[in-house]
Structure 1
Amino acid sequence: MKKTPLLNIALSRVIASLGHGDILMIVDAGMPVPSGVELIDLAVTHGIPDFVGVLNTVLAEMQVESHVLADEMRDRQPPALAVLDQLNAAGSLGSQRLLSHEALKQLSRSARAIVRTGECQPYTNIALVAGVVF
């Protein structure tokens, strides 16, 4: 059995297959998933699993070079934003780029995979850009 916290087979496979610059998105329950982009749907019901729990588990497995958030997340201030700010300050998320929500949806077309959570706070979405460990 794996020693790291991530148990989901599909998510573990995708993270293991990421190359430098590839994008993995973690999104709320309402974010549309473009046709042709792999969806790893973890959503069970409202709030389960939550965005922060999924993000923390992914960060235990994935080397992140940078991340992208929607400007609207800064405007709306969902609860997860405080955690994102802490992770960003600690250097866990690399550099930050802000786009409009519409531009983030456009960026999602180039994601290797999108992980849907049960999060129901609007604009609680992040695009993680894979880095390298060397």
Structure 2
Amino acid sequence: MKKLGHLNRDIARVLAGMGHTDSLVIADCGLPIPAGVECIDLALALGEPGFARVLDTVLADFQCERAVFADECRAHNPAVVETAAALSRQGVALEWVSHEAFKQRCQAARVVIRTGECTPYANVILHSGVIF
């Protein structure tokens, strides 16, 4: 049995297969999943598991160099804005795009990890960095 890293076998598999600049999405329960993009659905109930908890567990096992957020969350979700600021303080480059542009970019993701989050615009696209 695995002792360290992400214990969800599907997430662990995706993280192990990521290369530099590949992307994954951590999404609230309302974000549409593009056709052809794998979805790992973690949603149990409204709010469970939450966006921040899932993001923290992924980032503990993933080298992130860039994060993309919907600009609309600045007006509608201060908790996600604070999460973005914390990523920036850790050296992750931030990009803000319209929610429509965000949904278009999701089409290029390796996977969408769907949470039970039910607050507006609680979504991020994470781009893989390198560990050397």
Give the match's secondary structure for 1:128. strand
Paired with 2:83 and 2:71, the residues of 1 have a C-alpha distance of: 16
Match of residue 12 from structure 2: 12
**CA shift at 1:129, angstroms?**
0.2
Output the amino acid matched with 1:84.
A
Q: What residue is the counterpart of 1:90 in the other structure?
A: 90
Match for residue 112 of structure 1?
110
Is residue 65 from structure 1 mapped to residue 65 from structure 2 by the alignment?
yes
Q: For 1:48-79, what per-residue CA distance to the aligned partner results, in whole angstroms no more than 9, with x for missing partners?
A: 10000100000011100101001001121242
- Structure 1, unmatched stretches of 5+, are none
1:26·1:51 contact (CA, 8 Å) conserved in 2?
yes
Report the Cα offset of residue 105 of structure 1.
0.2
What is the rounded CA distance, in whole Å, between the counterparts of 1:22 and 1:67 in structure 2?
Answer: 12
Partner residue in 1 for 2:45: 45
**Deviations 1:97-128 (CA, angstroms, capped at 9, x unpaired):** 11100000000000000000000001000000
Contact 1:78–1:124 (8 Å) recurs in 2 = no
User: Which residue number corresponds to residue 21 of structure 1?
Assistant: 21
TM-score w.r.t. length of structure 1 = 0.93
Say whether residues 1:2 and 2:24 are aligned partners: no
CA–CA distance in structure 2, aligned partners of residues 24 and 60 of structure 1: 15
Q: Aligned pair count?
A: 132
TM-aligned CA deviation for residue 11 of structure 1: 0.6
Aligned CA-pair RMSD: 1.1
Name structure 2 gaps, 5 residues minimum: none
TM-score (structure 2 length as normaliser): 0.95
Structure 1 runs (4+) greater than 3 angstroms displaced: none
What is the CA-CA distance between 1:4 and the residue it aligns to?
2.3
